[in-house]
Amino acid sequence: MENTGKAFTTLIEGLSQIDNSNLTSEVTLLNARYSSVKKAQRKGTIAFEEANHHINQVNQGLLELVISESFNMKNIITHTIGDQLRGNEKIESYLINLIGETEFEGKNGEWHFFYAGIYIIILTDEYHNRMRIISPILDKANLENLKKKFILKLMAANFSSALDAKYALWKKGLWGCFVHPIDSLSQNHFNSGVLQVANLSINYGQTYSSTNLMFNL
């Protein structure tokens, strides 16, 4: 959860530069809530579970701002994106700038870190031009206990409430997964992928959503 700080600050700064009074107010409230929780953590006046709950809610609010139609996505690209992340070297350099060199592990196409308390893994295949952002949700034992109706619910969620990130089966477990071509990967795509994958994990068993957008079945 501590690793959320720099990534959160980077997006907040970018969102704050957009000329939209309603958005500015929402960003200010999210930023104030985040700061309040972190201050309480430092003082030891808030339990880990409660702090994690508040951080997850802030994360959800930030995701909704990034994805929603309340502002022009081109502004986000202008203020927080800049370079395309074409290749492992640029992706790693961006991770260093986003969350700090000591806050993630791995190299050469496989990195992992925590975002909002959620374990995130980045996998790339430059030869096949693909990047995956994934997060484990259920291991083999828990997946085998799922009834058929829940598997069908996940498939329905992949159409209606999971937007660019999807629920997927891999290595006999259930994962949140976001896939994007490397040659057109921007910082905005990367940020959105991390946020959406984290939200699939957070919202598993509840809304099964990666954003606040939903298609009716």
Mean pLDDT of 55-79: 52
pTM, whole model, 2 decimals? Answer: 0.65
**What is the pLDDT at residue 214?**
60
Closest residue by Cα to residue 66 from 184, 198, 182? 198
* Model confidence at 170: pLDDT above 70: yes
Q: Where are the domains of the chain?
A: 4-80, 85-202
Q: What is the mean pLDDT of residues 149-176?
A: 91
Q: Which of 25-29, 74-78, 190-194 has the lowest mean pLDDT?
A: 74-78
Q: Which residues contact 193 (CB under 8 A, 6 or more apart)?
A: 133, 164, 165, 178, 180
> What number does CATH give the domain 85-202?
3.30.1460.10
CA distances from 117 to 2, 7, 135 (A): 8, 13, 11
Q: What is the DSSP letter of 104?
A: -
Distance between CA atoms of residues 178 and 159, nearest Å: 14
Q: H or E stretch including 87?
A: none
Asked if residue 79 has pLDDT above 50, the reply is no
Partners of 107 in the β-ladder: 110
pLDDT digits (tens, 9 = 90+) for 3-54: 445 555 555 555 555 555 555 666 677 777 777 877 887 888 887 777 767 7
Q: Is pLDDT above 60 for 206?
A: yes
pLDDT over 80 (residue 60)? no
Per-residue buried b or exposed e for 161-200, using 16+ beta carbons within 10 Å of the residue's own CB: bbbbbbbbeeeeebbbbbebebeebbbbbbbbbbbbbbbb
Spatial separation of the C-alpha atoms in residues 185 and 80, rounded to whole Å: 14
Residue with more model confidence, 137 or 52: 137
Q: pLDDT value at position 136? A: 95
Per DSSP, the residues of 112-154 read EEEETTEEEEEEEETTTTEEEEEEEEE-HHHHHT--HHHHHHH
**Is 87 in contact with 126 (CB distance < 8 Å)?**
yes
